[in-house]
Each structure stands twice: as structure tokens, then as C-alpha cells.
Structure 1
Amino acid sequence: MTTETIPSPPGMPLLGNLREMNRDMPGFLQHTARTMGPLSRVRMGTLSMLLVADPLLVHEMLVKRPQEFAKSWRTTRLLQGHIGDGLLTREGVEHRRQRRLVLPSLHTQRIARYGEIMVDESRRLAGSWADGQRVEVVEEMTQLTLRIVGTSLFTVDDDGDEVFAAVHDFVNSLNAYLLSFGLLPGWLPTKTHRWRKASVARMDRLSYELIRRRRERGGDGGDLLSMLINARDPEGGPALTDTEIRDELLTMFFAGHETSATALTWAFYELGRHPEIADRLRAEVVEVLGERPATMADLPNLPYLGQVVKETLRRWPPGWLFDRTPVADTSLGGHTVKAGQILFFSPYVIHTDPAYWPEPEEFRPERFAPGADITREAYLPFGDGPRICVGNRFAEAEIALVLATLVPRVTLEPTSGAPAQLSGQATIRPKGGLHMTVRERGR
């Protein structure tokens, strides 16, 4: 069968499904997957894409046949103007080379050194809140994870505030560009395009200054920047150039705090809606830690905390939308797929599929209790295969240590009982933010 026989949801002439995707992309894709089956055709104007909703087909693309599928030209074009040729956009030999050079900086032993920074920044945040204060959780978690990434991966110090402000603006401009789907040529002087160019220019200036100062200082500062400068390819490839280091810096600044901030936001959203889960989590942390700060070494002794983290990543996967394209004509799910055809998949859609997750809309950390029956292919919060996110261990440790630090000290109460509305940007966020009230707790 050809892809012309794949079912498609109804849409408008010329616009296709753009209106529904702009209104609620996560909900639209979820509904399309449930009603159209494992493969469906979604139209964005003249662009036709195939939604792959069957986790076994996704596993086939990512794990069993990764050499046959590459990132799509569309994703590469959307991201390159911001983050250049980092790990998110590289392919083939160059992707494998850069992955080899970046991975040592995110090794478990290195992450353990970052754990103290994660806890210190979390305690600083808790100390800045007052009992009864109303906070916007998305913004609070964004600032927290940005400081963690900046301090642990790049040792941003004296000019930290300037760098943090620039990264915040950079990420927001990237989100705005992604929401525009990149449908208009980049040379058009739209507000989004002007914002994009200004934010990238600002980050370029700061990034190259960070690189220059670190090269002059020399040695290993224990952070990602030092390791990228000093990295040598064990297979004999060249060292990273300043441009390649800049691209990895911006990639990590973007991916290293946006995803964790979103996951933490949803964790507090769910803990606020389920106080019994928050109480059980708090009791475990206090029993294991007492009054002392959490460390990476404590995480294996906090099993319920681990279940809360995994269930948060299932219910609200930050990296919620990915795509691939065949490098040559191929077959998938019994259909012939032409080279260049965009295939996309959503961990959010797969993680809420009732065929694999009973009552998937419910938040149940016990799904990940020891011995639980989970279909491995249906859980992919960080992707899968050779391109699985290199920062997955860093992110999971960060989420766990922040929760272990904040949950015993404060309760964040919902200001509304209404379910959050979703905004599908680079990550899935609560539309309009998430406002909660701080309640201090004694240890």
C-alpha cells in the first residue's frame, strides 16, 4: 500500500489541519491517533506529514532501523537558525563524533558533582518564597533550572545574570518561532524573525566570550565547557572548533533547562492535585534524609521519589514531539514511504494510549513500582535508539533532587481546581502558566 491510502482527519481547503493544530496541537494529535489508527496523514497547508502513533512502529524507526531515518529537513531548518549544528541537528558520522565528545561531560560521576549545585539552588529558591505567596511555577522552575545549568555545566559566575537573561530571551524566541511552524521565509522582517535574529546575536556574543575566557584560563573547570574545549575524539577525529562548541552550548542551554523546568512544573501540578501522593513522597524523603541535604547517592534509597519522577515524565513528557524522514524509499507499517516524507511521533500521544497505559490520564506513580508490567516501547520520554537524549541522566537526577529538596520544605497549592489547558511549544506547558500558593512546612 502507498501512503495515499493512509486515513486523514478532516481539514480546511488550503489550510488543512492548521487551525486545529494552532488551537490545541497536543489534543488534536491525541484525538487523531485514537480515531485514525497507527498511521494517519496530517496536513499543514501544502505540507503533508504522517503521524506514527504505534509505539512498535516508532521503536522500529528509532531502534531497529535508525540508519534508514534521519531528522527531517523541516526540524533542521527550524532549529539551525537558533542552535546551529549541535547534537539536535547533526546526522551520520558528524553526529556520532560530537556525541562521543559530549557524552563524557554527562557521565554519572560528573552528574554527581552537579548534584550539590542542584540542591543548593533549590534551597535558595525555597528560601526566597514566603508563606502564602502566589507564584507562577513555570517561571520559577525556568529560572531555577537555568541557574542549575548555567552554574553546573558552564560555571557562569560574575556575568551570570546577563547570561541567564539572554538565554531566557533566546529560548522564548525559539518557542515563538516553533509556534509559527517556520512557514514564512526567514528574510521577511516579521516580529518573530526580528526577535530571533536579535536573541541569537546576543547569545553568540556571550557564548564566544565564555569560550575565549575559558581557553585563556586553561585546565578542567569540571564543567561541560571545559570538557568540550579539551575533548579529544578517541577515534582520532578533530577537536571541536569554537563554532561547534558554541552550537553545543546553545543546544545544552536550550535542552538542558527547558525540559527539566517543564517536568518540574507538571510534577508540582500533580502533587498539588494529589496531596496524598505529596504526603507519601514527603514522608519517604524525611525518613531517609532527616535534616540533611539530598545527594545523588541517596536517590537509590528513595524509590517512591523515582516513581513520581517517571510517572511525571510519562504523563507530561517534556520532549513531546519528534520527527524523522526516510533517507531512501522504504516500508513502514505495510505502507511504502517515499524518501523525504516527514514522519512524526509524540511521546505524549503514546504515553496516554489506553492500549498500553490503563486509565492513562490518571497520575499513578505506582505504575513504575518494582515488578510493574510496562511495555518498554511505550515509554520514551527522552526518545530512543542511537539519538536518545544525552542529558537524560542529568535531567532525571535534577528533577529528583529538586523535588527531594523542595517537597519537605513547601507545599504548592493549586489556586484553581480546573484542569490545566495545554500549550504545545518546544515542550508542553500549561497555557497561561501555572499559578500556585506557597505553604511553608516544618521539617
Structure 2
Amino acid sequence: MIKDTVHLPENMDTGSILVLSILGGGFILGVWFILIRRDAALEVRQGMVADGLRAPVQSSSFSSARSEFERKLMMIESERRRRNLSGGVSVSLIPQEQQPIEPVQEEPFWEEPPAEEEPEEEHEETEEEMLERRRQRDEEWARREEEEERRRREEEEAAMAEQQERLKKEQEEQAERDRIEAEKAAEEARANAERDAAAQAERDAEEAARQAELAAAEEQRLAEIRAAQEKDALERRQAASRALEELRARLEREGARSSDVQVSLMWNNYNDLDLHVVCPSGERIHGGNRKSACGGHLDVDANVRPDSRKPIENVVWPEGEAPAGSYQVFVHYYKKHKKRRSKDPTKFQVIANAYGDLMEYTGELTFGEEIQLVCTFNVPTMEERERIKRDLEEQIRRSESGEISAAQILADEATPKQVEFGDLVDEIENELGDEPEDDGSGVPPAPDLG
């Protein structure tokens, strides 16, 4: 034993004594702990738990070493199998050779009695038998793993086959449902098509009947319009024929000329009405412009002074020289003369001859009213005039041969009515017979065709 003597200074204070006491106590406690742990032999290897703690150190024999080796080998095999099943890292069956860790021999403070040797086992397993047993165990484990793998594959194949069968059955069922739905949809479409066709046929029949009714009504309306037009044209031409004698008398009285294109205005009081004719060129013929560049001439301008109770104004073009195109006829109430029997409104007549087409219009005006558009007519071209002339000659020939009468010629809408007061007009008027009685107004009555 070691004996230490500590000499404390005589003048040490209480704190220093306390620190030294603590340090000394710790040193003694450490020595005591080392002494009581002298028999602990620690054996630690990779993959193994600590073994041999607090076990008395004994002398080992060969049999005890083999037993310890077999026990640890079984532990390693168990750990390897567990890791293989859990997907862990495998552990080698034969551990690598390691230098044995010899326990540190500490010399005890007292002598220990020697350990008694264990008697050797009568039968010891040879290395070949141990390897054979390991091989058989490995084969058994491999066989079990193969069996497990085969069983797992069979189960997977069976599950896959069952799933495929189920999918096939579902597909067949879906195909059957689709077929039924398609047949149902086709049947509904066919029924709808039949209903639509029947409804369309019914609508077509109704529409055809309605169109037939409309066509019949339209034909009747057109026939009525044609009849009214023919009647109106006949009345208009008859009125023009009745006014023809009065027009001729007034023109002869004023010394006016007649031609194939001519416009005349008649009224029956002392007021001053003016005739205006707008030519196709846009030039206006009236009292302030009596001659136009296209050849038109206002040869009579009546009642500038209140001279006549039966006045007339006349615009005429030389024979065959009137330009083709559209003409407009206006009447203007220029001045009201203060004479008896000159009351408003003043009634008037306009007779226009467009190369054989005789037209008569009536109207009335009151002093102060704006100029009034009476009519518009078209003059044919030279080619059309030649055709009209040939038609007129044909009408004369047929009338002379007795094929048609003068009344039929006047009633024919296509027959031109000349205002030249020549032989044809005289012949037609003579065949018409009696003239209607005069009503005392001085102007033959005629319908308003404007």
C-alpha cells in the first residue's frame, strides 16, 4: 500500500481546506471504483451485443470456446435471417478472423484461488460436421425461400388472371350495354326521323295548298288589275278622243302647230296658268324660255292678259326631231285676274303625245300654291319610232281591209294614237259615232289618271 502524507500549512483558510478535501475525496472514490471493477472483462464485436459484463474471469478450455463459438454463430445466423426477411444488409456466416481481445489482467490487491479446469466433453463436433450442418441449414433456407417465392408468384399470377378475367367480363358487359344503348338510340332516331318526315310532309302539303291559294289569289288580283288598267286606259283614251275636237279647235284658233311629240294645256277661265316642260337634257321650256336647245318651242302662251275664257298653251317639237328620253310636265298658277267667273280652284287638262301615245291628265290649282308636277312620259328612240310607224300602217291596212273595226283599234292597248289629227284619227272618230253631250263647262269631262 502507498501511504501519502499531506502536510497542511498552518495558516490555510477554511476555503482552501474545503477544496483540498473535495479533491482528496474524489481521488479516493476513483481508486475505489477501479478496485471494485477489476473483474469486468468486456468483449465487443461488430454486430454483437456486449457480453461478459460483470462475469468472473475464468480460465477457458477448448470445449467452452467451441460452445461459445457455436452460440455466437447461431446469433449471427439469426441476425442474418432477420435482416434478409426485412430487406436489410446480410451478414456473412463466417466472420472474419479477428485478433482475440485478451482481457486486461489487473493485479488484485489480494491473491485469488486458481480456477478449476472443466472436464473436456466426451464428444466434440468436427469442423466438417459443422460445415455440413451449415450447408443443410442454408439449403433448407434456400428451399423455403424458393418455395415462398414460387407461392408468391403463383398468388400474383392468380391475382393477375383473376383481375384480367374481371376486366374482360366488365368489358363484355360494357360492350353489351353500349350495343343496347346504340340499338335504342338508333330506334329512337328512326322513330324521330319517321315523325319528322310525316310532319314535314304534312307541312309541305299545307304549304303547297297555301301557295296554291296565294297563287290563285295573286292571279285573280293581277287579272283584276289588268282589267282595271285596260278599263282605265280605254276611258283615258276615250276621254282624250272626246277632248280632241276642243283641243283641235283651240290650236287652230291660236295658230299652234302639231307634231309627233307635243304637250298642250287647257283651262276654262281668265286666270294665267303656265305650262313648264323639262327636257331630257334638264332644260326647262316655259314663258321665260320659249325655245330650247333641243328644238322644243312654246308657240302659244295664253292669258298674259285676261283675253280668253278658253285659253291654251302648247309646246311642240319639229317632226321626228324630239330627243329620246324622259320628259316632265309641270303646271304653274302664275297670276289670278280679277274677272267674273274666275274663281279658284282652277281646273285644267294636259294632253301629251309621245310619238303616237296619247295621254290626258286633269288637275286643279289655287293661286299661291306651288308648281305642280302633272305627268312624266318617255319618247322612244328612232328605231322604236320606225317600229311604231310600221305597226300603225299595219293597223290602217287591217282597218281598210275590214279585218278589224275602228273601235277595236282604239281599244287595243298596243295601238299608237297620233295627235296629228290626220286621216287615221278622223276615220276613227267618224266610226265612233255620237259624241257625248257637253256639260256647259267648255272642257269635255275626263277621269283623273295622274
Normalization by structure 1: what TM-score?
0.22
**Larger % of helix: which?**
1
The higher relative CO (CA closer than 8 Å, separation ≥ 6) is in 1
Query: Could you say which structure has the larger radius of gyration?
Result: 2
